[in-house]
Amino acid sequence: MKKRLHRLSEAYSDVAINLALLMVSIFLLVIAGGYPEMARTFPRLILLLIVGLTALDIFTKLWMKSEARSPQEKREGTDRKQKVRVIITVALMFAFLFCMLVLGFTVGVLVFLFISAWLLGYRNIKVLLISSILFTGFMYVVFIVIMDSILPVGMIFEMLRE
C-alpha cells in the first residue's frame, strides 16, 4: 500500500510539472502569435511539440502503468537536512558574488573559500588555510596571469584608493 502510494505521488508530481510546462507553453504560444510570420514559425512549432509531448507524458503517467524511473531518479528523495544544504549552497553562490564585488577578486576568493568550507562543516583549520591559499593562487594565475582578465578590485579597495 505504502509503495503504491509512493508511486502514485511520484506520478502526480510528474503530472503537476507537466501541467506547469503545458501552461507556460500555451502562454508563450499566445505571445509568439504576435510576432511576424518568419519570427514566429519556428518557436510555435517547438511550442506545439512541447504541448504534444507534455500531454503524452501526462497520458502515460495517468492512464498507463507509471513509467519506470531510472535508478538515479529513484534515489532522489530529499530529506529536510538535504534541502537546507541545497538552499545554503545557493545562498553561498550569491555570497561569493557579493564577496567578489566588495572585497575584490583575490581577497574575495580567499575569504569566501575559508568561511564557506567552515560553514559547510570542514573543521581542520590548517588544511583549510593551506587549501584556500593554494586555490586562490591557482585562480590568480589562471584568470589574471594567463588570461590577463580584469577582475573586480573591490568596492572597499576602490574607496580606500580614492
Partner 1 sequence: MSAVDTWINAANTVFQLHNLIFIFGISIIGLIIGFLPGIGPLTALPLFMPITFGMKPATALIVLAVLYMSCVYGGSISAILLNTPGTASSAATCLDGYPMARQGKGGVAIGISMMSSFIGGFIGLAGLIFLSPVIADFALKFQPAEYFMLAVLGLVLISASASGSMIKALIAAAFGVLTSSVGLDLMTGQPRFAFGSLYLKGGIPFIPLIIGIFAFSEILFLVRRGEGTIAEKGGLSGRIIDGLKEPWKHPKTLIRASLIGLGIGVIPGEGAAVANFTAYLIEVKSSKRPKDFGTGIPAGIIAPEASNNSCVAGTLIPTLTLGIPGGGVAAIFLGGVMLHGLNPGFELFTRHKDVLYTLFFGLVLANFVLFICGASLSRYIARVTIIPITILIPAVISLGISASYLMRYNVIDVIVAITAGVLGYFMRKYGYSTIAFIVAILLSPIAERSFFQALLIADGSYLTFALRPISGTLLLLTILVIVGPPLFRKMRKRK
Q: How far is CA 124 from CA 35, 85, 121, 130, 132, in A?
A: 59, 20, 10, 10, 12
CB of 1 or CB of 146, closer to partner 1? 146
Taking the C-alpha atoms of residue 47 and residue 45, their distance in angstroms, rounded to an integer, is 6
Contact of 32 with 47, CB cutoff 8 Å: yes
Q: At 35, list the grid cell.
A: 510576432
CA nearest to 108, candidates 94, 119, 121, 122: 94
Cβ-based nearer residue to partner 1, 4 or 94: 94
- Give Cβ neighbours of residue 140 (< 8 Å, ≥ 6 apart): 105, 106
Residue 63 CB, nearest distance to partner 1 (Å)?
14
The residue (of 1 and 77) whose beta carbon lies closer to partner 1 is 77
Binding site for partner 1 (CB under 8 A): 13-14, 17, 21, 28, 31-32, 35-36, 38-39, 41-43, 46-47, 49-50, 53-54, 56-57, 60, 67, 69-70, 72-73, 76, 78, 81-82, 85-86, 88-90, 92-94, 96-97, 100-101, 105, 109, 112-113, 116-117, 120-122, 127-128, 131, 135, 139, 142-143, 146-152
CB of 100 to partner 1, least distance (A): 7
**Nearest approach, Cβ of residue 102 and partner 1 (Å):** 12
- Can you tell me the distance from the alpha carbon of 118 to that of 107, in angstroms, rounded to the nearest whole number? 17
In the bound state with partner 1, the residue whose beta carbon lies nearer, of 63 and 78, is 78
- CB of 109: closest distance to partner 1 in angstroms? 5
